Chains A and B, each alone.
Chain A
């Protein structure tokens, strides 16, 4: 067997599954499929064999734009010292109970 031509490989898709009504679609993996219709069908077989979902999204992997992991600190660390954005920052009397 010779090495197959790269163009014969089916494109890669990212699969997102909504596990039940009211919840977000969540990324659960990827798969190769010739087109969108086939991708949905294969996603059902590969990622939802046990009622893991009620809805599936597939997105061509090359269409995903991601933040650069190298920029992780400059992007996300500035939030570290903004504790006042969390409710726990505010010390209130116990009598107030559930605010």
Chain B
């Protein structure tokens, strides 16, 4: 599911675009830009500017990490799903997230990094993942809400990436988006069941979950356009197709109608239809909270990362044993 237009490159290292280098590189870059302008897809072995590679590597690996870490909040409810049907659905969804993480790691590897390097960056806290997974999943209604709102926001973010200029990423995204729509639908259906057939307490639980997830979901689209200095370059290169604010607006407009169908309210007193803009106005987003969560101070940052590192460390003997077994049975591969 989950990319986040975080655009923290400049903020962190201040090494945005450097002026163009040698004449040869300048020529290569002109050709590259022309290919982008022509709507060409870039493949792994094609020449690309170093900054294009770096930006993509960062975005794709971050996206992959988000899929993998995103399994944790949902894993919390596998053993406590209310029915066998819901448990099977939840398991299938979590398995999808694992698959999506793997597609994306593979896409990132085509840019010249290794799986171990990426995992190491995640486990040491060097790499980021979507801020949304640092919030806890407190009740069963959170599972439905994650599907409806979190996956909904993710889909909104991801559909334009299916047209990303970097083909291995675009191909992974096409596959992901195809599989993703069930995630949002099952979430909405789970909530609808509670709203229409549930008790007063269950309806209150749904409203509570929506209240807690609404603002963090809006933050998933990343900082406002005005504070995204690298966005223009990403747009230029066809890595990003639609701006953070545009996507956020689209998500809000779509969700307002869905909330009405569901029978819940969205926790923003300033949320209202603007006849002139033909869009909804909304209240201010607490960006201080966003940056705190991204920076490691969210409610669950340590727990999430701790769980990932533990899973990786605990699985080390399995990975080693499988490799030892493979070497024993195919001695010719030993040299490779």
Contact = CB atoms under 8 A, between A and B. Distances in A.
Interface of A: 1, 3-4, 6, 8-12, 29-32, 34-36, 38, 45-47, 49-50, 62, 66, 68-69
Interface in B85-128: 92, 95-96, 99, 102-103, 106, 109, 114-117, 120, 123-124
Interface stretch (B63-71, B205-213, B290-298, B316-324): B316-324
Contact of A34 (B95, B117, B323): B323
Contact of B323 (A1, A10, A12, A69): A10
Interface centre among A3, A35, A68 (most CB of B within 10 A): A35
Nearest to A42: B102
B227 interface: no
Interface centre among B322, B326, B333, B336 (most CB of A within 10 A): B326
Contact of A1 (B46, B172, B309, B326): B309
A29 B103 contact: yes
Interface in B114-164: 114-117, 120, 123-124
A31 B102 contact: yes
B319 A10 contact: yes
Contact of A3 (B116, B309, B322): B116
B323 A8 contact: yes
A50 B309 CA distance: 30
Interface of B: 43, 45-46, 92, 95-96, 99, 102-103, 106, 109, 114-117, 120, 123-124, 171-172, 175, 179, 309, 313, 319-320, 322-323, 325-326, 329-330, 333, 336
Contacts of A69: 43, 45-46
Nearest to B44: A69
Contacts of B325: 34-35
Contact of A35 (B102, B120, B322): B322
Contact of A9 (B92, B114, B175, B326): B114
A6 B106 contact: no
Nearest to B168: A29
26 contacts: A1-B120, A1-B124, A1-B313, A6-B114, A8-B116, A8-B323, A9-B114, A10-B322, A10-B323, A12-B109, A29-B103, A29-B171, A29-B175, A31-B102, A31-B106, A34-B322, A35-B325, A35-B326, A35-B329, A38-B322, A38-B326, A46-B102, A47-B99, A66-B45, A69-B43, A69-B45
